Structure 1
Amino acid sequence: MRCPAMLTLQAVCVCVSVCVAMQQYPAAWGHYDVCKSQIYTEEGLTWDYMACQPEATVMTKYLTVSLDPPNITCGDPPETYCTLENPYMCNNECDASTDELAHPSELMFDFEGRNPTTFWQSSSWKKYPKPLEVNITLSWNKTIELTDDIVITFESGRPEQMLLEKSLDYGKTWIPYQFYATDCLDAFTMDPKTVNELTQRTLLDIICTEDYSRGYVWKYDKTVRFEIKDRFALFAGLQLYNMASLYGQLDTTRNLRDFFTVTDLRIRLLKPATGSTMVDENNLSRYFYAISDIKVQGRCKCNLHSNSCVFDKDKGKLGCECEHNTTGPDCGRCKRHYHGRPWSVGSYLPIPKGTANICIHSSHGPVHRANASSLGVANRNQAHVCDNAMLLCQNGGTCHHHHKRCHCATGFTGILCERERCQGPGPCEEYPTSGQPCLHHPLLFHYLYPLLLGPPGLLLTLLLPLVVIRVC
């Protein structure tokens, strides 16, 4: 971004672009953590509504876990285990009746960093050749959106065959997320593939990978991953610098958004690590599953109508604290008496504030408005891009011509007055080189006014370390 050598107070009042935070912390940009703010318009102080969503957090704090078969956890009766590397080293005991020797399922989600390590452990493969199979189901009783890699850390050798599944209907139906095997073709009749071989077109493909199924030779590689961030990077870039592109894709492609959305996850352990092609039937205590940690990062799905999700201890479930006159566990319907137009999910577009799509009071009558994500299509002049209830015109713009267009304030342009108009001689960059637009706070002048009345150098002294100032 070019900045003029001469800075004046007039330039500060006309356009102060707070871009430094975006450029230094691009991954944090576009969190949509504010649902509404007060702005000054021609009619006075009013609300400006924005799309919003909760911050991402560790979701394992809120889940319930179930095992199938339910008696698969070791310790009842007590059992002694041998190491995979040395079948004669058998000094690991599991006893469910003794706290120090028990390995219940909740130890998959406890605080990591203890010494000795805590972990869940299955019974051994004592019924070989019958398969040793375990289903571990993680349930939230709430729709969540994944925001980071799912990471499963094994205390034992990583499984030679495993499947990760997801449900979108609270466990009624399941679909595969990813297959894992030492030999994908033999185990699942699938060619092996890595996430790095995926493209934007094949992002939703279900793959089988051999990267996380190696035996005890790689005993220090204990994790199995489902790579969320690598898939995000197909749209946002390797360092996730262009989150605007990712949000735009999520907004316009429902299948893509659903791909990262779950109500339940199921880890299907199908074959334990054996360390060889043959199973030692004389020492089956070597073969079992043990998991020390499972990480799931995400946020409550609130349909972009809430920036807060709380856990109700009495009900034992998460729930969105809905804004925009919406209600329901996922803010999935309008409140009573707010059916002036059909409920609609919020929109990430236009960047950076999105479109709230608030529910309108029934007394206002039916309102018909094209979704903001469709404003780029032909015949856009027929769309109602703004209305008095939605207050969609940005940067001081006002609705005109029966809500069909925004009349922009001086210095701004675009369908919703969302970007600056280039003024003056010479080249003008409307956006920074990262591809992310600058923020123009609607109350900036209101905040700066008291400073303008103080000593002439005070304002610039306070602002220069924090912002980049330019004439628009």
Structure 2
Amino acid sequence: MRFHFALTLWTSVCQAVQHYPAAWGHYDLCKFQIYTEEGLTWDYMACQPEAADMTQYLKVTLDPPNITCGDPPETYCALENPYMCNNECDANTEELAHPPKLMFDIEGRNPTTFWQSTSWQKYPKALLVNITLSWNKTIELTDDIVLTFESGRPEQMVLEKSLDYGRTWQPYQFYATDCLDAFTMEPKTVQDLTQHTLLDIICTEDYSRGYVWKYDKTVRFEIKDRFALFAGPRLHNMASLYGQLDTTKNLRDFFTITDLRIRLLRPATGATMVDEDKLTRYFYAISDIKVHGRCKCNLHANSCVFDKEKLGCECEHNTTGPDCGRCKKSYQGRAWSSGSYLPIPKGTANICIPNNIGPVNCECFGHSNRCSYIELLNTVICVSCKHNTRGQHCQLCKLGYYRNTSAELDDENVCIARVCDNELLRCQNGGVCVNNVRCSCPSDYSGLLCEKSRCEAELGGCQGPDSGAALPPPPLRLLLLLLGSALLGGASAL
């Protein structure tokens, strides 16, 4: 029977291991069934959706709304050649239109498809465009944000983020050919950042060069380089990164957004002076935007669905809401809490518990800090008991260990190994092993194995366990016995 149980348990463990993520940081499993001494139960873990291309779920808006080219139709000149003016934009002709949706279409088309703004015909008034990407959902970024320009890259640009659905904005990064001139900021790169300055907002000049660099058309906001400050250059130590994200709210919020805004402030000119006779050379055009991330579900869901034009987490752990940000109505037995990435690699689920079992903490006498709610039994058990303990509250000792009666239940030494047996750890000096837990010693001996004599080699003799007076030492005792016998013999003769 014991072998059958062990085999079943091992099979369950093997099946569970097959479901573990292949690498740290996936957290793609919210729970699985395990066998415990209390029976079949669920083991809950922190979980999150897989990262994906988030541009397929967004809504894009432009400000001003009529900034897209083609209404009325226009002809554009090439930036690098002001006399090459054969590029047309006509919003009413499909093959000549450049609407905003072409910023997110399939790459690799020939000819390239792209969104394009009107030209800088109103120079010297600034050519300003705001491109806002909205998800109506909290998103966690997992890779670099990459903009690919079909025109020259802007000479001045700001990338901004919102955490409250566009009500307020804060800068992510500034871009300029001259940071001091454009934003009164010293130029920096992401390589200048450290763990302590990761949240600093910088201005970079790396992505703002003109048409001389026409074959390098991308502008980046470097997410992975910032991750690498904790996880290493190859992101090999994700445990360190997730530990930081778990314990530092500001860091976690830095990579979290509901909206992105691209503020285009000055188009590429390729020179220090603007050619006012050929203003159709100056415009913005974007062929691709990449935003990789995942739905933020507070580590309470491993999938996110797009239904009725809206993203939502499929919440587990008895949680609910767009971000799994609250407990279900009948599962508010304790305050809601986000899941935890720690301990790596399973994390801690921090599930919501039913109202009728009250505000339960992990009551494990300090031998575990993780609990699992058993739906079938409507109870909570401690998970992964330490210090050789077991049981619902880690209040029992593992097989082969015994309760140390001199220690309290919350003592690390509450469970101790086999003290004695009848073969190797024999009780000494006539002691008897009782249930492998202790030696029952004769009155003259004490100690774990009855190895200590109660007698002290002093002139005063030994203190007997039951007597209140001191006995003479053995030689003197023998002499007194002989003397007593002689006296008794003399008395009889009289």
**TM class, shorter-chain normalised?**
0.7 to 0.9
- How do residues 162-201 of structure 1 correspond to structure 2 at under 5 angstroms? 162-201=157-196
Name the residue aligned to 1:275: 270
CA distance in 2, matches of 1:121, 1:51: 44
Which of 322, 326, 329 aligns to 2:322? It is 329
Letter in 2 for 1:348: Y
Q: Does 1:300 align with 2:290?
A: no
Compute the displacement of 1:382 (Å). 6.4
Name the residue aligned to 1:394: 384
Is the CA contact 1:67–1:135 (under 8 Å) kept in the aligned structure 2?
yes
- How do residues 21-170 of structure 1 correspond to structure 2 at under 5 angstroms? 28-170=23-165
Letter in 2 for 1:239: R
Name the residue aligned to 2:369: 385
Name the residue aligned to 1:421: none
Q: TM-score, normalised by structure 2?
A: 0.73
CA distance in 1, matches of 2:26, 2:232: 17
Name the residue aligned to 1:217: 212
Is the CA contact 2:365–2:395 (under 8 Å) kept in the aligned structure 1?
yes
Letter in 2 for 1:386: R
Compute the displacement of 1:383 (Å). 9.4
CA distance in 2, matches of 1:103, 1:366: 58
Name the residue aligned to 2:340: 347
Tell me the SS of whatever aligns to 2:243.
Answer: helix
CA distance in 2, matches of 1:84, 1:355: 56
Q: Deviations over 1:207-252 (max 9, x none)?
A: 0000000111010000000000000000111111110110000000
Q: Does 1:360 align with 2:353?
A: yes
CA distance in 1, matches of 2:395, 2:25: 25
CA distance in 1, matches of 2:195, 2:296: 23
CA distance in 2, matches of 1:188, 1:403: 60
Is the CA contact 1:178–1:208 (under 8 Å) kept in the aligned structure 2?
yes
Is the CA contact 2:146–2:219 (under 8 Å) kept in the aligned structure 1?
yes
Is the CA contact 1:386–1:405 (under 8 Å) kept in the aligned structure 2?
no
Letter in 2 for 1:343: W
Tell me the SS of whatever aligns to 1:348.
Answer: coil
Query: Computing the radius of gyration over CA atoms, which structure comes out larger, 1 or 2?
Result: 2
Tell me the SS of whatever aligns to 1:179.
Answer: strand
Letter in 1 for 2:383: C
Compute the displacement of 1:367 (Å). 1.8
Tell me the SS of whatever aligns to 1:135.
Answer: strand
CA distance in 2, matches of 1:69, 1:398: 68
Gaps of 5+ in 2: 1-6, 374-379, 401-409, 411-494
Compute the displacement of 1:33 (Å). 0.2
CA distance in 2, matches of 1:262, 1:103: 28
CA distance in 1, matches of 2:99, 2:388: 61
Q: TM-score, normalised by structure 1?
A: 0.77
Q: Deviations over 1:350-381 (max 9, x none)?
A: 111000000000011112359xxxxxxxxx97
Letter in 2 for 1:340: G
Give percent identity, aligned residues only. Answer: 76
Compute the displacement of 1:385 (Å). 1.6
Aligned alpha-carbon RMSD (Å): 3.0
Tell me the SS of whatever aligns to 1:279.
Answer: coil
CA distance in 2, matches of 1:332, 1:68: 32
Letter in 2 for 1:286: R
Q: Does 1:240 align with 2:235?
A: yes
Tell me the SS of whatever aligns to 1:47.
Answer: strand
Is the CA contact 1:37–1:47 (under 8 Å) kept in the aligned structure 2?
yes
Summarize the Cα distance change of 1:401–1:46 in structure 2 as closer, same or farther, 3 Å threshold: closer
CA distance in 2, matches of 1:391, 1:296: 41
Letter in 1 for 2:203: C
Q: Deviations over 1:186-205 (max 9, x none)?
A: 00000000001100000000
Summarize the Cα distance change of 1:398–1:391 in structure 2 as closer, same or farther, 3 Å threshold: farther
Summarize the Cα distance change of 1:391–1:282 in structure 2 as closer, same or farther, 3 Å threshold: farther
Which of 306, 313, 329 aligns to 1:320? It is 313
Gaps of 5+ in 1: 1-8, 371-379, 416-472
Compute the displacement of 1:400 (Å). 6.2
* Structure with bigger RCO (C-alpha 8 Å, 6+ apart): 1
Letter in 2 for 1:150: I
Tell me the SS of whatever aligns to 2:69.
Answer: coil
Summarize the Cα distance change of 1:395–1:229 in structure 2 as closer, same or farther, 3 Å threshold: farther
Name the residue aligned to 1:439: none
